[in-house]
A and B are shown apart, each in its own frame.
Chain A
């Protein structure tokens, strides 16, 4: 699905240069479930943002579905992104002024999909994540777990091949965290590629492979023994 080759990211702020990623080589197959772990500040979010094309690498190649997207500009990246990649964030990132339904629909809004089809697909995913009875509610009226379910629904409603999740369980208690992990697992079983950043070893266990980052380097890659 994607391949990072000698990929580096350097942040320059005033006089300080931070190498958030340093010659990272990673390959992720289609249909995989990968967890990324590491201490705070080691570059996990940076890596995920680059994979999600929200940010561009400073050097190195990023081959996505056979195309080197590293040199692409924002508009092109945006096009690839909206077709293939869905996002889940730690802090949910729902729009406060929009209802649950409208928040999910947002992921289809910029895809030239007719309104009737959009409504159908939104209804379908809401059923799937069990949030249909809250369709008209505003995010502020939901619990954290429910909000994250809305975010998951939003990430999958566009039928994207890959979902990137940055600490999706970070703001949730363990019961709700588990719930979200199970949702991700079942999505993976349906064929969606999932890349997830987490601090919880237990949640990393849901993934087939764990990549450990330290100071911008990949230190180890563990493959979980097939069950």
Chain B
């Protein structure tokens, strides 16, 4: 019996090839995209969920609070806060550790390379679970000369040889010591924020005492801080008492510790997906946006299926009526229709899995995530099962119940297969819905593309071209030779000009201090702080708009070190940007020149010049005030303005660098590339959205094509009659095309307000954004694209039908 049903179903699917193909393919493409997004979402949301005590494992972040303007949160915090937590909340904390990532020169015999090592507290082992392959991980934390390394690290250094017992010489800042490898552990999973722990050593307070920012400075972002709370401890309580803790432990020249800093602990498991430093979209929100798109794509495919199934079912009313006259019972017919629909859905899912396997390698490398289908994972099967039941049922439901329930007498008597107006209307609504979604996605893709383009091509206020930055000239092995290195580089023929600075525009300034018009800390504001030499503004091409520029030959321009030890605080000098002029409350740049303001420790600073605003901070946050000090010693990068081919320059730079720091690799970047990288996310998002909106449009159009073909077929008699009545081919094409334009036009009316609202909200998060009026023309363009595609889809078929001889259509009834 069942076999018979099955055969009939297969035959019916085979007989209606066009509809079956559209259904299966459309659904499969939608499902493929949905599964892909699901994989991605699961990966992104799985970060750090697997730690043993993830329900009470917390990571701490910090916010600089000085003054009135709130600043970005930092996920790296001071190396001193752990002691504060432990002594203030000792009874509530089970374990605590700091991870101090630090670049170091690692040497084994003649082999020397730059590596990032991690110095950590012993509690690390109580907090994170390592999979030890060899050796004893505990031993790594017993003394200050043992090292535990990951497989990756070991492979890099020892190429498969046993690393245990090997000795590496590590030098960074004041630390220079031989480390013996005592343990080898498996690489941490990629879906962890600490997956980059490649080499672990015990924290060394003495060695890292200087420079202060390594560990000892409250104002530095030095370590990743983890707290494992005791069972049943409420983190809210701890966070509520943290300001009091800061007041107790932080000594500041004025005000209280909590005036200057805010600390907060949040679940490590939520950290990757929810933590944001500024206004940007959190990972979780991005994932939700993508999940919404996934649902929408499946929906579009499913709508095709439902539409075509119901449209086709009408054609089968006569068949069903005849079957009933011949004695078929209703349950049998219901089973028949549902079975057909389920077979199609299952075929679509199989095809989707094949598509997905084909597409995954590309997506994994594009998204830079190791995505793979885990066939043992019940979640996927659950989702797939739900989709089969839902989509298959939905598409089979109408024919199964509505048509099998019709009375055969009426249908055979009326001798026609006209549809109820309700069914036609429902189909129009669904098509409208599909196109509304497609148009919204097209608008979103175009807007994101435009916005990204706009920011990338925004005038940054400085000349971005032909600038190369040599990074890390403040590394311990270079720091003392920074100035001679600058001299050596300046002699290279490709170098037009060069400058040392503590930050460069392209890496987004992350160094801040507080300055005010009075010595009262309440009047202070947070202001960016750059240390530079007197070539900086020339090299970057930032104009001085009031006062004068720094000059190393003018006495008093240079910053004075060690002022705290002096009896009277000396007067320092600085330059500021235009934004700072207005933030301080000066009427104009001219008014700001020669004014005296006060640093956080009451040191007076005279403003000697004002430069135009250049986008030296991240383009994803609004440009803030900046202060500039003349003191190359605090610099960390050397910016070179070059002529000619950059590859020549790099070659010569490498050679020069080797002379100064033979064991450290040269790290450099191009300013224009670096600022483009900042928008990598948006570029990715725009590509992903374009891809999915294209898919949506394609699937929707496939459905439209099927419907158009079906309608044209159903209307052949009508078309024949109209032609007999004198309608031309153009009249007929117009008639058919117009029928399908209506839902697309209505879809525009629905999509535009939605798209505009959504994109306005999205653009809100950009301080520099395209004019919003442009959204309307973009909507019109998207609508036109959708309409054109719909016309092309329907038009070809309509023309073919319209040209056929009416006699054929009218001959047989």
Contacts and interface: CB of A to CB of B under 8 A. Distances in A.
Interface of A: 45, 49, 52, 54-55, 75, 78-79, 81-82, 87, 89, 91, 93-97, 106-107, 109-111, 140, 154
Contact of B718 (A87, A97, A110): A97
A78 B723 contact: yes
B726 A97 contact: no
A91 B717 CA distance: 11
Given A54-B724, A93-B720, A95-B722, 7 more contacts: A49-B807, A54-B805, A55-B807, A78-B728, A82-B726, A95-B717, A111-B726
14 contacts: A45-B811, A78-B728, A82-B726, A93-B724, A95-B718, A96-B416, A97-B418, A106-B722, A109-B725, A110-B725, A110-B727, A110-B731, A140-B414, A154-B725
Contacts of B416: 96, 140
A109 B725 CA distance: 8
Contact of A87 (B717, B724, B811, B813): B724
A94 B416 CA distance: 12
B516 to A, nearest CB: 79
B810 interface: yes
Contacts of B807: 49, 54-55
Nearest to A106: B725
A110 B725 CA distance: 7
A22 B784 CA distance: 54
Given A49-B807, A93-B717, A78 B414 contact: no
A139 to B, nearest CB: 9
A91 B813 CA distance: 8
User: Which one of A45, A52, A97 has the highest number of Cβ atoms from chain B below 10 Å of its Cβ?
Assistant: A97
Contacts of B418: 96-97, 140
A82 B717 contact: no
A119 to B, nearest CB: 17
Give the top 6 A-B pairs by smallest Cβ distance, nearest first: A82-B726, A110-B726, A96-B418, A95-B718, A54-B807, A91-B813
Contacts of A54: 724, 805-807
Residue among B721, B722, B725 with max Cβ neighbours from chain A (10 Å): B725
Contacts of B726: 78-79, 81-82, 107, 109-111
Question: How big is chain B's contact interface, by range?
Answer: 20 to 34
A140 B559 CA distance: 97
B805 A106 contact: no
Contacts of B414: 140
Nearest to A166: B810
B676 to A, nearest CB: 57
A107 B718 contact: no
B721 A95 contact: yes
Nearest to B418: A96
Contacts of A52: 724
Interface string B715-741: 001101111111110010000000000
A127 to B, nearest CB: 21
A49 B808 CA distance: 11
A168 to B, nearest CB: 14
Point out which of B717, B721, B724 has the most chain A C-beta atoms below 10 A from its C-beta: B724
Nearest to A54: B807
Given A97-B418, A140-B416, A89 B810 contact: yes
Contacts of A49: 807
Contacts of B725: 82, 106-107, 109-110, 154
Nearest to B416: A96
A59 B737 CA distance: 37
A94 B721 CA distance: 8
Nearest to A98: B718
B733 to A, nearest CB: 14
Interface in B798-813: 805-807, 810-811, 813
Contacts of A96: 416, 418, 718
A136 B501 CA distance: 85
B600 to A, nearest CB: 81
Contact of A75 (B717, B718, B728): B728
Interface string B691-717: 000000000000000000000000001
Contacts of A78: 723, 726, 728
Contacts of A79: 726
A47 B744 CA distance: 45
A96 B314 CA distance: 14
A99 to B, nearest CB: 13
Contacts of A89: 810
Contact of A110 (B717, B728, B805, B806): B728
A176 to B, nearest CB: 17
Interface string B752-795: 00000000000000000000000000000000000000000000
A76 to B, nearest CB: 11
Contacts of B717: 93, 95
Interface in B388-441: 414, 416, 418
B805 A93 contact: no
Nearest to B731: A110
Contacts of A109: 725-727
A34 to B, nearest CB: 20
A106 B721 contact: yes
Nearest to A141: B414
A203 to B, nearest CB: 21
